[in-house]
Amino acid sequence: MNLNLALLKGDGIGPEIVDSAIAVLDKICAKYNHTVKYNEYLAGGCAIDATGIPLPEETLKGCLESDSVLLGAVGGPKWDTLPGHLRPEKALLGVRKALGLYANIRPATLYPALSERCPLRSAKAFDIVIIRELTGGIYFGKSGREDAGEMGEAAFDTEYYTVKEIERIGRVGFETAIKRNKKLTSIDKANVLESSRLWRETMHKLAAEYPDVDYSDMLVDNAAMQLIRDPGQFDVIVTSNMFGDILSDEASQLTGSIGMLPSASLGEGTRGMYEPIHGSAPDIAGKGVANPLATILSVAMMLRYSFNLEAEAKEIENAVETALNNGHLTRDIGGELGTAAITEEILKLI
């Protein structure tokens, strides 16, 4: 297979972790006889420095012409005082919008070797994937301010979902469940919100098309509690934009390691954007100590979701888990290894 990738290394530790992930991807492609072509573009702070804007036209065009996009991270104190529309993060929103990426997929995995880093006393290893709707809901519904008479100024935001929006994210949930352990939990607030009742109705209709999937609904307040009580009960979760935003951060903290968590943003076709969930870590940039595993695991997600290369994806994930089991750890997860050394360990295991 030929893979044509756009690379947005970005700022801070971005270039270091993307270089490490490329080394792993090169090795896996050589082993399985794939060819991979990289086109590098500026995005974020580095693009602001070079061109005055966070997402140059050439970058957007490059992403649209690619099979998939691999991003490091953007931002840093140097650009913090810029006005909103010129901030590095605008690059991410711009790429997501242009590529129509409506599904955000965030695994939260607690590896046995890292179970002591989980803030829960009794946590066992778990492996959850949270699928968050990314382009609808209350973050995009009608909002505004008005005069509420005697009560003074008021503000409102509207949770708004169409059946089509729910169906397409719901399908991502069911299809992901089928590729994993055939278990899906849809999270809503159907006891209070009309939008959630439509969400639930639509999900139930979809569930009839996927009789092999063990499907259930859960109210969001209960889900927040159940994630702390027993995270291992979940496998795939699908939910709306705001609930997904909050629950995926909650779940990621249970893994105790921001440097380990990958993510994917997907749309209608196979093209996606893959990135670690952490930021550009300016405090450790250029020191060679960043943990590249979140970016390496993002490459595994890319192979699985955009190229349907399951064996290749699994081999990378197994290499990461074996390296951890062998005690090869970077500083953020209690070890001593730098970026180059942990990358070497992963390469040896492929």
**Which positions are annotated as active-site residues?**
139, 189, 221, 245, 249
3-class DSSP assignment, residue 215: strand
Of 350, 285, 259, 302, which is closest to residue 46 (Cα–Cα)? Answer: 285
217-276 residues near ligand NAD, rule: CB under 6 A: 258-259, 275
Residue in 284, 313, 320, 337 binding ligand NAD, rule: CB under 6 A: 284
Q: Cβ 264 to ligand NAD, closest distance in Å? A: 13
Q: Is 94 in the site for ligand NAD (CB under 6 A)?
A: no
Phi, psi of 131 (to 5 degrees): -110, 115
Helices (H), the chain: 14-31, 45-51, 57-65, 90-98, 163-179, 194-209, 220-229, 241-254, 293-305, 310-325, 339-349
Report strand pairing: 262-266 vs 143-147.
unpaired
Residue in 94, 141, 282, 335 binding ligand NAD, rule: CB under 6 A: 282
Q: Is 47 in the site for ligand NAD (CB under 6 A)?
A: no
Phi, psi of 24 (to 5 degrees): -70, -45
Q: Is 332 in the site for ligand NAD (CB under 6 A)?
A: yes
Q: Is 56 in the site for ligand NAD (CB under 6 A)?
A: no
Residues 6+ apart with CB under 8 A from 103: 131, 132, 133, 134, 168, 169, 172, 265, 266, 267
Q: Is 281 in the site for ligand NAD (CB under 6 A)?
A: yes
Q: At what angle do helices 293-305 and 310-325 cross, to 10 degrees?
A: 160
Q: Is 279 in the site for ligand NAD (CB under 6 A)?
A: yes
Nearer to ligand NAD, 231 or 338 (CB): 338
**Which range touches ligand NAD (CB under 6 A), out of 53-61, 106-114, 278-286, 316-324?**
278-286
Paired residues of 2 in beta bridges: 35
Q: Residue with the closest Cβ to ligand NAD?
A: 279
Q: Is 176 in the site for ligand NAD (CB under 6 A)?
A: no
Q: Mark residues 63-82: x for contact with ligand NAD by CB under 6 A, - for none.
A: ----------xxxx------
Q: Mark residues 286-325: x for contact with ligand NAD by CB under 6 A, - for none.
A: ----xx--x-------------------------------
Nearer to ligand NAD, 165 or 317 (CB): 317
Report strand pairing: 126-133 vs 236-239.
parallel
Q: How far apart are CA 155 and CA 338, in angstroms?
A: 48
Interaction site with ligand NAD (CB under 6 A): 13, 17, 73-76, 89, 92, 258-259, 275, 278-284, 290-291, 294, 332
